């Protein structure tokens, strides 16, 4: 699994390389936490469904 991915950061208002800070397997699938190194904004993905809001 990748340790970083490019995401449009809502705080920076630019595309940033978010870093994976945690991952674990749940009964729903894999849960991953991602964080922007520039501003600290973070979001969670569970089985590919994201809490990232634009």
- Dump the DSSP string for 7-49: EEETTTTEEEEEEEEEEEEETTEEEEEEE-TTT--EEEEETTE
**In the chain, how many domains are there?**
1
Q: Could you read off the pLDDT tens digit of each residue along the chain, which spans 54 residues?
A: 689 999 999 999 999 999 999 999 999 899 999 999 999 999 999 988 999 865
Please tell me the predicted confidence (pLDDT) of residue 54: 53
Where in the sequence is the domain holding 23, given as residue range(s)?
4-50
- Any idea what the CATH number is for the domain that residue 12 is in? 2.20.25
pTM: 0.86
């Amino acid at each position: 699994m990748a340790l970083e991915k490019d995401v449009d950061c809502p705080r920076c208002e630019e595309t940033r390389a978010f870093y994976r800070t945690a991952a674990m397997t749940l009964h729903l699938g894999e849960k991953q936490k991602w964080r922007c190194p520039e501003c600290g904004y973070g979001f969670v993905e569970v089985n590919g469904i994201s809490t990232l809001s634009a």
